[in-house]
Structure 1
């Protein structure tokens, strides 16, 4: 049967007696692994048996054997399958035909709608089948709030977007960050605490490398000549920290631009904002006057896509990132000329 993230969360709290398998798949692998981690943590098993999904192609009974084995220590066992694919369908069919055994949590890749494993899983009451898709910045407040609530964290406006951007949308990274801040704030579900921008700054999440401050300022204020010069001076291998620093600045601008669109001037918005270093205030105020929400969202999408490209084998090199960043700078410069 199909299951959304809420259903998987309830399974993590209490595994239903009639459930045999949780199948997590989709293009967002980090989301699948994050949910799998939550389910496994909720089961609190004493023994975890791990199976390579590819091996099930050659041994369709291996999954049944693992799920019905006797526990050596008498405690709860759980089976985790990584890399399950269509070739493992006979093993899944055998699992459902066998007597009930240990819970099984399986991770698959991006199973398309026509995939036979996916089609089978979505029709079986004994399988919770959940597709995970990449979240966007618009999803950040809801997604981070859901993660933060069990930790006793209530996110101040703008915090979710900063965390999302700093983690490049990776849900496992976001969860680890929230767990870190829960320790910092000494919070739990029974003792909730607010997580504010100052808390992020206190542990360094909003502070970039000093050498990246100037190029990010030039990019966001449309200073093409300075951006060109500074980007050329950066050493190789700085693409990821540069992109992440720019992501944080764009998230900040997106949050502040809401106030500008409500009728306030960029200068008054910046002066009234917290956790902005005084030397950055005139730069951020200038950028706020150049960027509309639509342009900021477009730039954020390009920067996030570029980061994914850098991390992908054969993806963008530093030179390609610099070309993309200069294109963004030129758009800000064009906005400045229209003022």
Structure 2
């Protein structure tokens, strides 16, 4: 029985221990499921992918006639080459034909793509129990795997990135691997000539104004600008940015201000503190950050941290009120800044 863990899939794809049998890529991240299947097929196709005999089915077309899978797997390739069958949106209708093929696939590799399957799902259970079966779970990227993917992509292309490029990308992108890959390819192509990439480039190409609205919320809240805050909140929420995500970013922003405020209270200038920060705030925001450090004292920042903690707790208990809590909390913090 072979049931791989999610963190083991990348190592498996680099050197699969089977060349025939049933391979099941499954999970909630549809982009990663497709990428996993594609990478596996490229490896199984060998040194001459064009010579491989790859047949593609959509699951629903096999539901009414699942026996077609057996017929296809047992047929002899007219042109030689590795026989590979790829089934998108595979479902439980394939359990019976796969039961017949699992112990004797006849040299054929059957690559299945499916959604999020529970351990008790018949299709997943069959593949995990098969001697010639490998189940490959595909779950959304963590911050660590997403960061590694970005660095690897830029390093392979010889692109030098500013220190705030990856944090900015993490803020903009979701966890769907396909979307991430597409955005990285766009950035890599854009920077192919200069071999450099800046935060401004990322915002211009990928943000759809989302990251710009987030920065505007942070700076309007910290700087006490109520009108700007209202406009920035409206832009961010219209772009479907989650209120809980915005609260998390506000929490990080005020935690950074609090750390920097300690250095200012110990005698360093606000500019010197910001220049030595890692990652360093983007140059376009330095002036506003200096102003915020002048406006907020350590006790006031402690109160802000408590207020954001309570707001985060409130939104987790009552998600339906997330937007209301966000607006109320940011306005209160904005007024605190304006009265200093």
Q: Please give the TM-score of this superposition, normalised by the length of structure 1.
A: 0.67
The structure with the larger Rg is 2
- Tell me which residue corresponds to 1:128: 134
Cα 1:222–1:102, aligned 2, differ >3 Å: closer, same or farther? Answer: farther
Alignment of 1:240 onto 2:239: yes
Equivalent-residue separation in structure 2 for 1:61 and 1:204 (angstroms) = 47
- Tell me which residue corresponds to 1:281: 286
Structure 2: runs of 5+ lacking an equivalent: 265-269
Residue 111 of structure 1, CA deviation: 0.8
Give the conservation status (yes or no) of the 8 Å contact 1:22–1:106. Answer: yes
Within a 5 Å distance, the mapping from 1:315-326 to structure 2 comes to: 323=324, 325-326=326-327
Cα 1:222–1:93, aligned 2, differ >3 Å: closer, same or farther? Answer: farther
- Tell me which residue corresponds to 1:114: 120
Cα 1:119–1:211, aligned 2, differ >3 Å: closer, same or farther? Answer: closer
- Tell me which residue corresponds to 2:267: none
Equivalent-residue separation in structure 1 for 2:35 and 2:306 (angstroms) = 31
- Tell me which residue corresponds to 1:64: 70
Residue 41 of structure 1, CA deviation: 3.9
State the SS of the aligned residue for 1:84.
coil
Equivalent-residue separation in structure 1 for 2:12 and 2:147 (angstroms) = 23
Alignment of 1:80 onto 2:86: yes
Within a 5 Å distance, the mapping from 1:13-28 to structure 2 comes to: 13-28=14-29
Within a 5 Å distance, the mapping from 1:147-166 to structure 2 comes to: 157-166=163-172
Equivalent-residue separation in structure 2 for 1:337 and 1:12 (angstroms) = 55
Question: After superposition, what is the alpha-carbon deviation per residue over 1:57-116, rounded to whole angstroms, capped at 9, x for unaligned?
Answer: 433322233334433443444322121223322132222133433322211111112222
Alignment size in residue pairs: 311
Give the conservation status (yes or no) of the 8 Å contact 2:56–2:86. Answer: yes
Cα 1:321–1:258, aligned 2, differ >3 Å: closer, same or farther? Answer: closer
Residue 253 of structure 1, CA deviation: 5.8
State the SS of the aligned residue for 2:84.
strand
- Tell me which residue corresponds to 2:96: 90
Cα 1:140–1:125, aligned 2, differ >3 Å: closer, same or farther? Answer: same
Equivalent-residue separation in structure 2 for 1:100 and 1:148 (angstroms) = 41
- Tell me which residue corresponds to 1:200: 202
Question: After superposition, what is the alpha-carbon deviation per residue over 1:213-243, rounded to whole angstroms, capped at 9, x for unaligned?
Answer: 8963566438584267536976xx9722766
Alignment of 1:48 onto 2:54: yes
Equivalent-residue separation in structure 1 for 2:138 and 2:60 (angstroms) = 21
Give the conservation status (yes or no) of the 8 Å contact 1:31–1:171. Answer: yes
State the SS of the aligned residue for 2:89.
strand
Residue 200 of structure 1, CA deviation: 3.1
Within a 5 Å distance, the mapping from 1:129-278 to structure 2 comes to: 129-137=135-143, 139-145=145-151, 157-186=163-192, 197=199, 200=202, 204-205=205-206, 208=209, 212=213, 216-217=217-218, 220-221=221-222, 225-226=226-227, 229-230=230-231, 239-240=238-239, 250=249, 257=256, 260=259, 264-265=263-264, 267-271=271-275, 276-278=282-284
Cα 1:36–1:332, aligned 2, differ >3 Å: closer, same or farther? Answer: farther
Equivalent-residue separation in structure 2 for 1:322 and 1:57 (angstroms) = 43
